[in-house]
Structure 1
Amino acid sequence: MKHLFTIVFLSLGVTISKAQQTIVSSLKYEELEKRIQQESDKFLVLNFWSTTCAPCVKELSYFIEVNNKNKNNPKFKMILVSLDRLVDKEKVIKFIKSKNLTAEVILLDDIKRMNTWIPRFEKDWDGNIPVTLFYKNGEKVFFNDGEMNQTELENTINKNLF
């Protein structure tokens, strides 16, 4: 019985650790661009957000719900790109845990060059967040400037994923 309890406890710990990310990679724009190309066999949802942005935080629950619905689909990938400062990385990790974010989170550590990389993602992006980009076969298929509700997010994915 003692061993059964230990096995159940360890299994639960592994399940929880898979659900929540405890390490956040920090990338420069060029590295993120490579990641997008590496995921070219998937429908990629790339959401730019920050822990200090109220509309971003509000919509994250929709993104996580949609990610959870699609996470077992090998043709789907969601990446949440935090624009928080690198010095706030621990704050981002705590936020991930408190909000139970199950999608991959990366920290884009390239604030000083925003005027360079923002137009490379989308010429119509004025720099405000939240912003969501959708890629299929490595090519951008949709740009959403501003907050998305769950229906809009699901409709965009369903229209392009299948």
Structure 2
Amino acid sequence: MKKLMLLFYIVCQTTLQAQQESVPLLKFEELEKKIAEAPARLLIVNFWATTCAPCVKELPHFMEINRRYETNPEFKMLLVSLDRAKDLERVKKFMTDKDIRAEVVLLDDNKRMNTWIPRIDPEWGGEIPVTVFYRRGVTVHFHNGEISKTELEEIISKHLD
């Protein structure tokens, strides 16, 4: 019985440690710096919200891919929530409920959306989900709309290998 309790404790601790404990609120310039300074060769940045059905639908693909590559130092995934800052607790609960293990930040810069959206991509109109693939800080692929697991895998293999 003691061994079973110990095993349960270890599994729970590992699960808790794997999930992000806090979600930082960032302004766009902080996000931009984070992207530019990412040490990984390939950085995937997904813009999403808890209230966006296509965003929620594609997240399991992102989590599966993240689990596959999370030990690869050349790979990094960043999920940028566009929920409102006042909904931070909902974002944290969503992360727990959906077992989100990639890094999550909340972009708290809604008042300046018309300024920073074109800096992500001049063709982006602000709709979500949007996924941007960066190689050493430079955009190598911009995907507007929901992305399939197959598309995600193809883009990663093209830019990571």
Shift of 1:119: 0.4
Q: Which deviates the most, 35-44 or 118-127?
A: 35-44
Give the unaligned 5+ runs of structure 1. Answer: none
What do residues 77-102 of structure 1 show as CA deviations (whole Å, max 9, x unaligned)?
Answer: 00000000000000000000111111
Shift of 1:9: 4.0
How far apart are the structure 2 equivalents of 1:102 and 1:133?
19
Q: Name the Cα RMSD after superposition.
A: 1.4
Q: Is the 8 A contact 2:39 2:74 kept in 1?
A: no
Shift of 1:138: 1.3
Determine the structure 1 residue equivalent to 2:94: 95
How far apart are the structure 1 equivalents of 2:143 and 2:93?
27
Determine the structure 2 residue equivalent to 1:74: 73
How far apart are the structure 1 equivalents of 2:76 and 2:40?
10
Q: Which amino acid aligns with 1:95?
A: F
Give the secondary-structure state (helix, strand or coil) at the position aligned to 1:102.
coil
Matches within 5 A, 1:47-86: 47-86=46-85
How far apart are the structure 2 equivalents of 1:46 and 1:101?
14
- TM normalised by structure 1 equals 0.94
Q: Is the 8 A contact 2:23 2:104 kept in 1?
A: yes
Q: Is the 8 A contact 1:21 1:105 kept in 2?
A: yes
Determine the structure 1 residue equivalent to 2:154: 155
Give the secondary-structure state (helix, strand or coil) at the position aligned to 1:68.
helix
- TM normalised by structure 2 equals 0.94
Q: Percent identity over the alignment? A: 53
Q: How many pairs align?
A: 161
Give the secondary-structure state (helix, strand or coil) at the position aligned to 1:143.
strand
Give the secondary-structure state (helix, strand or coil) at the position aligned to 1:141.
strand
Determine the structure 1 residue equivalent to 2:10: 11
Give the unaligned 5+ runs of structure 2. Answer: none
Following TM superposition, the consecutive aligned residue runs of length 4 or more in structure 1 with deviations greater than 4 angstroms are: 4-7
Q: Is the 8 A contact 1:44 1:76 kept in 2?
A: yes
Matches within 5 A, 1:88-127: 88-127=87-126
Q: Which amino acid aligns with 1:90?
A: E
Q: Which amino acid aligns with 1:28?
A: K
Q: Kindly tell me: are residues 30 and 61 of structure 1, through their superposed partners in 2, closer, same or farther at Cα, counting changes over 3 Å? A: same
How far apart are the structure 1 equivalents of 2:6 and 2:35?
38
Shift of 1:113: 0.4
How far apart are the structure 1 equivalents of 2:135 and 2:39?
7
Matches within 5 A, 1:13-32: 13-32=12-31
